Structure 1
Amino acid sequence: MIDVLYFAWVRERIGLPKEKVETSATTVSELVAELSAREERYAMAFSDLSALRVAVDQELTEFDAPLAGAREVAFFPPMTGG
């Protein structure tokens, strides 16, 4: 079981701030594929991965990052500086 967190417009599209997910995914990309296959709102949220960033256990990482031992995955848009 892994906690999946959604921020900003990702949360708005999916309609949830977080959820517990039972997954067999071994990488972030596989988790995204599982979530996208659930229903249209997930597919829309994950349709353009270049517009997303991901953190595993609060560390910024890439979509090919392994999930072994991870407790939390967070998806959010790139931060904009000002």
Structure 2
Amino acid sequence: MKILYFAWLRERLNRGEEEVSLPPGVATVGDLIDWLASRDEAAELAFAKRSLIKAAVDAKLVNHSAPIAGASVVALFPPMTGG
């Protein structure tokens, strides 16, 4: 699965995307964020305020309880502002 990071997530993680193989038990966007945060200190800090993180699964905006089974791409980004 490809994970895309945008805005300050990309800056804090020092990467715009990565390919991952999910471990068993990672079934929702929330599970994915928890797993990503557990991998290293930079990710833990980047995802510290999980409620701010928005997500899209295969280009469809979803909430953290959305399943990710069979998804090709998950995009993670902070709230968007401006016009």
Query: Shift in Å at residue 51 of structure 1?
Result: 1.7
Residues 41-60 of structure 1 correspond to what in structure 2 (within 5 A)? 41-60=42-61
What is the aligned-residue identity percentage? 46
TM (normalized to structure 2)?
Answer: 0.91
Point out where structure 2 has 5 or more consecutive residues left out of the alignment.
Answer: none
* C-alpha contact (below 8 Å) 2:4/2:73 kept by paired residues: yes
In the alignment, the residues of structure 2 paired with residue 56 and residue 14 of structure 1 have an alpha-carbon distance, to the nearest angstrom, of 20
> What is the identity, as a one-letter code, of the residue corresponding to 1:38?
R
Query: Shift in Å at residue 52 of structure 1?
Result: 1.5
- Superposition CA RMSD, Å: 1.0
In the alignment, the residues of structure 1 paired with residue 81 and residue 35 of structure 2 have an alpha-carbon distance, to the nearest angstrom, of 28
Matched with 2:78 is 77
TM (normalized to structure 1)?
Answer: 0.92
